[in-house]
Every structure is written in C-alpha cells, then in structure tokens.
C-alpha cells in the first residue's frame, strides 16, 4: 500500500481552494485541515470541499494536525512566518505560491530555513504542465533549433504576478543554467500599492552561464499578443537558435519554425483543472522517492527569484548586477525610492485600462 500523505492548506482564496480541491481529489493525500482568517472564504471552501476539519487559526491547526505537507496560498507579502510555521509543525514538504519572495532578504532567510530544516519546498509554477509548454520544451530539447542563443519571455500582467512564471519556464527551456549577470529598467508607479506590488513595467537582459541571452518584459509596456484574447494569458515565452524558434503563448497554443520541420503549431491554454493534478501528484512522488525531485522545487524557484530580484536591483540602481547575489536587500524599497514619478507608456489600450490609467 502506498503511503498516504496528510495535508493542510492555509489561505482559502482562489489558489488555496484550488490546492485543497486537488489534494482532496488525489488518493495519495488526506486533506486533514483547511484554514482561513476570513470566515466567509472558509465557509465558501467548506461548501465546495465537504467535510474537512477547519479553523480560523492556522497556527493551532498546524500544531495540532502535524501534517506531512503544509501548503500555504497567501498574498506575496505573507511567506516567511508561514514557512516557519510549516517547519515548526513538522511537515516534510512545504508547498506555497509564487513569487518565492518579495525581497532577496526574505528569499535568503527562507532558503536558510529550508536548508537547515532539511524539508522539501515546492512552489507553484504549474503552467509548465500545459501541453503547449511541454511541446515547446520538447522541441528545444530535441536540438531542432540548432544552437540555442536566446530565451525570452513577455507578459502584460505586472511583475509580481507574472515575472517569476516567465523566468521559471524559460530557465527550464535553458536546462536551469545559472545566470551570471542582469541589467534592467523600470517605469510607472501605479502598481506599487497593489497586493502584488510592482513597477508598472520592467524590462531587462540576463546573461546565462551557457552563453544564452535572456530577454524579459513584464507589465504595461510589454508587447500585446493580439492573437490571445484573455489579458492574463498574453504571455509569450520561447527560445531562438541558429535554425529556428519555438514559443508558447499561455492562452494561445504554441508555434515553431525549424530548418527541418518548417512551420508547426498546436493548441493549448493554461488550465488549472489540467495543470494542478500532475503538480500535486509529483509531491507524493518526491516524498516517496528522494530521487524524484519535483520540477517545481524550491531550488529552481530560488534561481528564478534571484534573477527576478537582481533585475529589480539593476532597475533601481542602474548598471549590471552580478549573480549569485551575495547579500540580501529590500528590492521593493529600492524600486519605490528610484522609479521615476512619470506615467508609464503603454503598449495597448487594454493595458491602459488594466493599469487604471484612464
């Protein structure tokens, strides 16, 4: 009989409910508790999940339940204390949401906690399970693009929502080669007060150690993808080589041109119902067998988060920023202090609306 892992999920917003639902649906897990500070959300979750123990107090739930998996799905500003609670309650695996952390100071403190405790960390960059993402990875890995020299990602959604997705999937395309330096610019201040605090637009370059150049743009100034209707799905990630390119659109399938294959394309759209089950299953696989490391492991997230935070430091301070970062800092404060107080130029009228710019 395979072991059944006991899980609690904290935070019953959109993503907490997704996680709880898919843990509950998988026989390898026993959902032994859910928690939300917000009584309405907890009630709503219980009406969908049925009979699951629940509490408004995450701490008492975690310490009494002592789960194998501690999962928290909270806003980006709520990370370190949740991670600490996950470790304190004895969980073997802690699953949480992107972005990894808002600042490098917090990221490094989290990394220290995870390493010292020897727990497994998994972060929800689950778009990668989409058939269109996997197809692009397969084409790049097949060598059909010749010598790959460039990886790129753009999203019109703002930085703290979208940039970690762009970086994680393109790092996957690039076999997680480490980055050695970055350089970036940022503009616009309207989203600094959002729950996902961000400059309205950030764009930058990344040098990877294998010679691949990364190019990223996120926010109001990033190019529209007119072929994609859903605004949050206007994300384009891909790679170019000497013999072609392959790219995925989050809500618009995939396409490639290669020397031997000509033009090819296919369907695919980000879908929680399809992406969450394998993401959840691979947590059991990793707990069963240390060799089956989850592809969304915390080390991968850390690598992407360092790139993302170094881009922010460069945007705030100017010039190139070397990686790995040697000390933690508060990149949010750095950006707030330095991003000019001038409105961002938008790339489309829809972006103007989404950024509340009239």
Ligand X SMILES: NC(=O)c1ccc[n+]([C@@H]2O[C@H](COP(=O)([O-])OP(=O)(O)OC[C@H]3O[C@@H](n4cnc5c(N)ncnc54)[C@H](O)[C@@H]3O)[C@@H](O)[C@H]2O)c1
Residues that bind ligand X (CB under 6 A): 11-16, 36-38, 41, 58, 73-76, 78, 97-98, 124, 126, 161, 196
For ligand X, which is the closer residue by CB, 109 or 177? 109
CA 162, chain centre distance (Å)? 7
Three-state DSSP state, 111: helix
Q: List, as own/partner pairs, every contact residues 26-29 make where C-beta atoms lie below 8 angstroms and the sequence separation is at least 24, other chains included.
A: 26/277, 26/280, 26/281, 26/284, 28/2, 28/3, 28/4, 28/281, 28/284, 29/4, 29/5, 29/69, 29/280, 29/284
CB of 45 to ligand X, least distance (A): 9
Tell me whether residue 75 or residue 261 sits nearer to ligand X (CB atom). Answer: 75
User: Closest Cα partner for 238 from 124, 163, 150, 141?
Assistant: 150
For the chain, how are helix, strand and coil distributed in percent, rounded to 5?
40, 25, 35
Whose Cβ is closer to ligand X: residue 258's or residue 301's? 301
Nearer to ligand X, 130 or 253 (CB): 130
* Distance of closest approach, residue 139 Cβ to ligand X, in angstroms: 23
Which residue number has the CB closest to ligand X?
Answer: 13
Distance separating alpha carbons of residues 256 and 266, to the nearest angstrom: 9
At closest approach, how far in Å is the CB of 259 from ligand X? Answer: 35
- Beta carbon nearer to ligand X, 124 or 332: 124
**C-beta of 296 vs 321, nearer to ligand X:** 296
Minimum distance between the CB of residue 40 and ligand X, rounded to whole angstroms?
A: 9
CA–centroid distance for 110 within its chain: 16
Q: How far is the CB of 32 from ligand X (least distance, A)?
A: 18
Q: How far apart are CA 29 and CA 308, in angstroms?
A: 33
Q: How far is the CB of 89 from ligand X (least distance, A)?
A: 14
Residue for token pair 């989203």: 191
């Amino acid at each position: 009989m395979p072991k059944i892992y006991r899980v609690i999920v904290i935070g019953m917003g959109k993503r907490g409910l997704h996680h709880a639902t898919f843990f509950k649906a998988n026989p390898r897990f026993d959902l032994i508790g859910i928690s939300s500070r917000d009584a309405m959300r907890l009630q709503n979750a219980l009406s969908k999940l049925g009979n699951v123990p629940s509490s408004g107090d995450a701490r008492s739930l975690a310490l009494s339940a002592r789960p194998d998996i501690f999962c928290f799905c909270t806003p980006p500003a709520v990370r370190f204390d949740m991670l600490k609670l996950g470790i304190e309650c004895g969980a073997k695996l802690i699953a949480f949401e992107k972005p990894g952390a808002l600042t490098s100071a917090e990221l490094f403190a989290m990394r220290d906690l995870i390493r010292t405790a020897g727990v497994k960390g998994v972060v929800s960059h689950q778009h990668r399970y989409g058939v269109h993402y996997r197809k692009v990875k397969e084409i790049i890995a097949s060598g059909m693009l010749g010598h790959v020299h460039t990886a790129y990602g753009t999203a019109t959604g703002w930085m703290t929502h979208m940039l970690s997705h762009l970086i994680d999937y393109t790092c996957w395309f690039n076999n997680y080669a480490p980055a050695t330096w970055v350089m970036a610019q940022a503009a616009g201040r309207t989203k600094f007060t959002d729950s996902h605090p961000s400059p309205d637009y950030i764009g930058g370059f990344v040098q990877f150690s294998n010679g691949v150049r990364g190019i990223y743009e996120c926010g109001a100034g990033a190019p529209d993808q007119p072929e994609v209707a859903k605004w949050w799905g206007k994300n384009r990630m891909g790679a170019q080589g000497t013999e072609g390119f392959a790219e995925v659109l989050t809500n618009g399938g995939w396409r490639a041109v290669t020397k031997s294959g000509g033009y090819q394309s296919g369907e695919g759209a980000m879908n929680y119902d399809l992406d969450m089950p394998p993401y959840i299953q691979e947590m059991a696989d990793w707990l069963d067998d240390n060799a089956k490391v989850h592809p969304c492991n915390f080390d991968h997230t850390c690598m992407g988060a360092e790139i993302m935070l170094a881009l922010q430091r460069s945007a705030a301070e100017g010039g190139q920023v070397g990686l790995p970062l040697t000390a933690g800092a508060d990149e949010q404060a750095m950006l707030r202090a330095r991003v000019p107080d001038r409105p961002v130029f938008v790339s489309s009228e829809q972006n103007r609306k989404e950024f509340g710019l009239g």
